[in-house]
Structure 1
């Protein structure tokens, strides 16, 4: 999802299994032959706590924080990590001194999830007061989510007593990372983060530091290029090397960076590192890195090859379109080929018409709707293809995927500075036609284009009656994303404050506790695909409502025959959409369940359009992706078949999902 990180999820990551306990709570556990174990929700008090969490009932949850049983205090604190109500900050802060270390840990996690700056002082006091090293790590990470700009210095410089505490070093790195995601950083923070990349630091600290450098916006890492290059080349963990390579995009002025990225692209044994190196290459580096990118077009891993094609689409300068066409025609993977064809069209020149004709010919020859969609996406680089793409978008009886890609291509075309002025009125009428179809994807995409300030379309749509009529025909919560896009556009055109998102309440889809109790701890699901099988371990005790929904849909055969409709290299493979284009949903929404889990390699999460809007779509992460932590429900962990996940492509089919013990 515009494409949010994970549009339901569609517009919407442990090295080889579990992460070090000093870094994260482990999402997965090794397969065992132990018999199925009844889950914890046989306990009626735990069901009460989980129900209050699902209902976002702060007043009902607060008394459980004072129960004599530590188990209930802990579960109540964890519940607030999902509720995220600042009215609970004082009560959670009080639990930071609980006599049970697991309660203290849960309270720190929940305070971080609540992101209430008023908890900053209490958290800081616990840095040296808590005797448990892991708890101190939790406190530091929570500080990163709650700290003010003025308080950032307490994260940059640890108390002297913690200077050699490995758990504190990991916590400091995660705290700096979480603060960086919020836009809070400083020269001292960056310098300390680079120090935490050092090979003598624990894995958790190195991974967090690399992520902080890669994902904090606005950094100039040129002064630290040598240190980051060394990490990208030599760290024993692929996840640290990969993320450090990504951070080198912010050190593009350093003279040693192009050669280092080229070497990583050619030589690193892990495809995710090669891929990150390609993504870090910039337009300014085009000449010294392009030969490595050419070579990567034929990498054995298709995700790397696709990223190489995207490099040429985004950065190619002065390349003859005919040469890119020739290279594209020699490539077998259709998504790599289509992306390089897009790069050829973007270059323009004398061969433009011939390239356009070649793409249109491929479009007519293929029966794969996803390849058709990508070819329309390629044509979106060429305004001269407007009529062809418009006709393809609205052809009756075709798979909805084609129309979705087609309208996105037309919007991209309209954003091109070369789009003819005389076609602008026709484009406005085309958007109105898209609204009239009632198709949720076309509604959402067209409405988004209408409110894009760069397209300046407010003057063309002074009357919003047709948008209101289309909105009122939608069914909530199933059509939530289309409703939201239409409403935002109505508000934009009418120049009024935004209407809140109508999130479904728990009463509309309550958790069936009898159903949940029948799902054993250790329940597994085998996803059968054309590329092989992927086995999930379902996390019923951490995400009962989400797991119950998934199991119910599996038993109904809901996922049989669905496709993986979105695959972002070194990020996620996403499936479960009933439409196949990312705009589909079930007839109900779930509430987010943010347990103390983290997006490592093979985490399985639910896509959403915002908090408490989860439905039937899910995704699998290719690598640690901690910026998703606490934002998307984790309901399962891959325990077998990550090699299959790494080979999944758009259009790959889920033949069925089987529940096994």
Structure 2
């Protein structure tokens, strides 16, 4: 897409033209407007394929897999990647040898998305003869998604880490299998070997993510290799490898983590290092974490405060109170106040009073919510938190945080048994109050077997009454929570989630067709401007909905309600607490896209439940690939994204050229 000249450049060119043509009579010039390139859905057949995908109609898609037109074969395969129907496996397998490279990649991606174990061997057979490194990686990733414990070895049957032509594919195959909890000593050893500097960058990234994201690993035997990996030249590798250091169960890892927090230039590595610190390393690392509380990067400071909340012990709460009062970032301060109250000591009451006074004085609803979360560390604050939660005419956000705080308080071992009856009455009040977030949180507590509330509230009648007041699909998350509680109280099997069908909100192809292939969106925030390019050709339904909401001014004035350091900044909720939605749901569109830095995805409560909330990633988050719709990419203002904090405003969103 061509860009208009800036006003300054235009003036310079005008001045030059005047000098060159000072003696030449002015001649009127004709101007032409270059039309934005249309997207691919000008093709009626591609719209039919898109509709069949949206309707989850496998039978309608299968004939296109044998179309003489490669565009339709590829489109149908990618559509089946969103449908995720194992009934399509047999029809997709022949396309692994399709003459068209894009179709071969699409078929491998679709097979991986189905997760069909019967596809593992056919995928592995294709790896040695793959025509390119790109195709080999697609095959490996699909194999990692389809492998079982018995077929995991297929990943390295054809290659060793020493063969760099296979390294990238193998690393990402190990990563995809690891996300599913599939690993072995041989797999871990190969991933560690793939971290070596001589390996290609993409291989090192995949291996680092494999070690970081595979659950329940003990990487203590590989400590030396991992320590070498954190010196990688690429910050993505360093950040992921640093996360893996948290799986080293030895305090000897502490000096490495300290060095990363103090010296690494990339904030994402520093965040990962703080998260890798744990109770076994608390004594040697706490001074470093203490200093990190005042780092200029708020994400690092927040993570340091969360480290203390998770691991501090045996220290007086007073010192954390004193530190908190000197901090200016309200989220860091509130988290440290929670640490102070959790540790308590002789001045427990004074700490609680200080937090309550700060709550009363605070004006930001998110700060007030975090202060209620801090008070959740002390059951003596129950009455204060309950009153704040149900206070009239307050922002919805405050009530949402307050209900979470009450439930967290009930889970404390120090919560007195004499208060159990009062808590049961609070839950009943919450479920009858009509606020969807409070209702959902209360219902979740009611079915928690550890809280054993069935004896106090055995009758599901009032929960059924509350559920029947909800409106679907707008209140889907609350409906899910209440229905699960009803099933729990009535000892019934889980009720299927009522996912909205395509017929309730079909893709508006007239809207899709008027969106250029590289349409851009300007998001003006209180931290600066962000420009995103929409992926209308990969996620037409999602983009059409987003564009229509922009044109209605839906996002103007909303907030970023959720910010997780080195993960995402999320906004667009009409309630401001993450529970809001439109009155319709979208179907998931799992295009062949990856969550790199600045990817923009739709939040959901499960497949095919997307609506209006969206998030931007701080860095690569490959564990989200193929699970959450990617509908845009940040192309300008990437430096603004890590500055976004909870409560920052989405001032205006507009379509631009």
> What TM bracket, shorter-length normalisation?
over 0.9
The answer to whether the aligner puts 1:297 opposite 2:296 as a matched pair is: no
Following TM superposition, by how much is the alpha carbon of 1:458 offset from its aligned partner in structure 2, in angstroms?
1.8
Deviation at 1:279, TM superposition (A): 0.5
Helix, strand or coil: the match of 1:458?
A: coil
Shift of 1:165: 4.4
Residue number in structure 1 paired with 2:472: 476
TM-score where L is the length of structure 2: 0.94
Residues 495-551 of structure 1: CA distance to partner in whole angstroms, max 9, x if unpaired? 110000000000000111111010001111111111100111011001000000000
**Paired position in structure 1 for 2:136:** 136
CA contact (8 A) 2:64 2:76 kept: yes
For 1:367-420, what per-residue CA distance to the aligned partner results, in whole angstroms no more than 9, with x for missing partners? 111000000000001111001000000001100100000000000000000001
Residues 164 and 199 in structure 2, CA contact (< 8 A), matched pair in contact too: no
Contact conserved, 1:31 with 1:639, CA < 8 A, in 2? no
Distance 2:526 2:122 in 1: 53
Give the gaps of 5 or more residues in structure 1.
1-28
In the TM superposition, 1:142-161 aligns within 5 A as 142-159=142-159
What is the rounded CA distance, in whole Å, between the counterparts of 1:470 and 1:628 in structure 2? 33
Deviation at 1:92, TM superposition (A): 0.5
1:144-189, CA deviations, whole angstroms, 9 ceiling, x for partnerless residues? Answer: 00011111112134347x96343x2111111111111111100010
Matches within 5 A, 1:116-195: 116-159=116-159, 164-166=163-165, 168-195=166-193
Equivalent residue for 1:359, pick from 347, 355, 359? 355
Q: Which residue does 1:465 correspond to in 2?
A: 461
Q: Does the alignment pair 1:65 with 2:65?
A: yes
5 Å-filtered alignment, 1:8-19, equals: none
What displacement does 1:30 show?
12
Structure having greater relative contact order (Cα 8 Å, sep ≥ 6): 1
State the Cα distance separating 1:133 from its structure 2 match. Answer: 2.5
Q: Distance in 1 between matches of 2:94 and 2:467?
A: 46
Could you say what secondary structure the match of 1:502 adopts? coil
Contact 2:128–2:158 (CA<8 Å) still a contact in 1?
A: no
Partner of 2:248: 251
Matched with 1:655 is: 651
Q: 1:30 to 1:640 in 2, by over 3 A?
A: farther
- Whether 1:227 aligns to 2:225 is yes
For residue 131 of structure 1, report the CA deviation from its aligned partner. Answer: 2.4
Match of 2:45 in 1: 45
Matched, 1:579 2:578: no
Report the alpha carbon displacement of residue 236 of structure 1 after superposing the two structures with TM: 1.2
Decide which structure has the larger Cα Rg and report it.
2
Corresponding residue pairs, total: 629
Aligned residue number for residue 76 of structure 1: 76
Partners of 2:155 and 2:625 in 1: CA distance: 20
Shift in Å, 1:199 = 1.0
User: C-alpha displacement at 1:31, in angstroms?
Assistant: 8.2
Q: Distance in 1 between matches of 2:316 and 2:205?
A: 41
The answer to whether the Cα contact below 8 Å between 1:252 and 1:282 also exists between their aligned partners in 2 is: no
Alignment check: 8 A CA contact 1:225 1:254 kept: no
2:415 aligned counterpart, secondary structure: coil
Change (3 A) 1:486 1:32: farther
Once residues 132 and 279 of structure 2 are traced to their aligned partners in structure 1, the CA distance between those partners, rounded to angstroms, is: 48
Q: Give the deviation of 1:569 after TM superposition.
A: 0.5
- Report SS of the residue matched to 1:432: helix
Alignment of 1:236 with 2:233, yes or no, is yes
Secondary structure, aligned partner of 1:656 = strand
Partner secondary structure for residue 395 of structure 1: coil
Q: Write out aligned runs for 1:213-362 (5 A).
A: 213-232=211-230, 234-253=231-250, 255=252, 257-362=253-358
Distance 1:55 1:360, change over 3 A: same
Q: Distance in 1 between matches of 2:54 and 2:338?
A: 46
Hey, what's the Cα distance between the residues in 2 that align with 1:548 and 1:554?
10
Contact 1:30–1:639 at 8 Å: present in 2 too? Answer: no
Specify the SS of the correspondent of 1:549: helix
Residues 336, 30 of structure 1: CA spacing in aligned structure 2 closer, same or farther, 3 A cutoff? farther
| Alignment check: 8 A CA contact 1:389 1:406 kept | yes
Instruction: Tell me if the contact between 1:120 and 1:143 (Cα under 8 Å) persists in the aligned partners.
Output: yes
Q: CA deviation at 1:641?
A: 1.1
Stretches of 4+ moved more than 4 A in 1? 29-35
- Describe the superposition over 1:51-74 as per-residue Cα deviations: whole angstroms up to 9, x where unpaired: 100000000000000000011000
Deviation at 1:35, TM superposition (A): 5.6
Shift of 1:109: 0.3
2:459 and 2:523 map into 1 onto residues whose CA distance is 48
CA distance in 1, matches of 2:130, 2:298: 48
CA contact 2:344–2:351 (8 Å) conserved in 1:
no
1:32 Cα offset (Å): 10
Name the counterpart of 1:410: 406
> Counterparts of 1:387 and 1:590 in 2: how far apart (Å)?
41
Q: How far apart are the structure 1 equivalents of 2:109 and 2:3? A: 28
